[in-house]
Structures are given as structure tokens and as C-alpha cells.
Amino acid sequence: MTEALLSGDLEHALNVWSLLDDPIDIVRVPGPAGPLYHLGSNGAHRLHTARLLGLPAVWAEIRQDVLPLEVTFGDATPHGEHIAPETLTICWRGLLERGLAAGRFDDTTIFGVLHPDAVMASWMLAPPDCAITWAAAYDRAYPGALNQAGVPVSAWQDPQAWLSWLATEGRPVGDARDA
């Protein structure tokens, strides 16, 4: 990749970097103070090379996933991860009660289904271990923004703290529709 860039032959470089046929896939994840971005299905080698070379920019396709009409236990649980369904029920109900998500929770099925209308950040719908990882990344990108949005630092220090915070009844701290 480096040789192709340094060759001075733009067509050769574009072919080696596959930017025309297979652009780098970046996913935009909205949040209360601004978005986070993560690598989608491809592009790790190209992004790493661009960083090593100190390139100021690289061509990428940025997409943003839409909020699903419903979220089930299976949708939110990574393949192979063992998590009690009650854990997600507590999290989703807590998000709704605190105003960090808007919608309804349908508990007529065995594990329950969340029908979100809005959520402050889609990563909040994930199991606690994933949610706190995203929260830490979000706080690095936007220091203090989560606290300002009503999510205290103590809530995302570990998975149990996240679960406990969401399980604690309290008045709504934000409005997911503003996200």
C-alpha cells in the first residue's frame, strides 16, 4: 500500500487501496454531544497504513445505522455471550424510566421486546459490559458530556454499576428525543 502511494501513479494507488471498488466502511454512532465513529466491515489495513504515513485524510464511506423498530434479547446479545435476559430488561426499563430512551417495553414475550422511538445513544441498548466500554470511549471523545446528559461517571465504571444505576428508580434525567 505504501509503495503504491509513493509510486506517484494515482490509478495504481487507487487500485491497490481498493478505494473505488471497496471503500473503507466507517459507522457513525450518534450521541448527546456528537458522534463516535468505528470501523465497519473493512478498511483496518488501509486506515493503519494511512496513520503510519501521516496522511491527513483518507476516502471512506460513512454510514449510520437506523434505530430498529424493535430490539430483542437476541439482537442485543453478541453471539456466544452468556447474559441473563433479566439484565437487559433492567437496562431497557431503566433507560426508559430515566428518559434516556423513549418507546415501550413489551413483556408479553419470554424475554421481552423493546420498541424504541428514540435513544440518547444506541450503544446504551447493549449489555452492560458493552455499554460501559462505549461510555468510556464517549467520555474520551466528549469529556463530561455524559454527566451533563444525566449519566454520572459512577454509572459506567463497571457493568454492575451500570446495571445498579439503571435499576435504581429515579426521576428522568434527560430526553432521548433531543439526541
Quickly tell me which residue has 431497557 as its cell: 92
Q: What is the mean pLDDT of each run of 10 residues along the chain (179 residues)?
A: 74 73 89 94 86 85 90 72 81 94 89 91 92 96 96 95 87 47
* Rg, Å, the chain Cα set: 20
Handedness of CA 66, 30, 39, 155 (dihedral sign): negative
pLDDT at residue 169 in the model: 65
pTM beyond 0.95: the answer is no
Q: How many residues does the chain have?
A: 179
Contact 2, 49 (CB under 8 A): yes
CA 36, CA 29: separation in Å to the nearest integer?
Answer: 5
Per-residue pLDDT, 102: 96
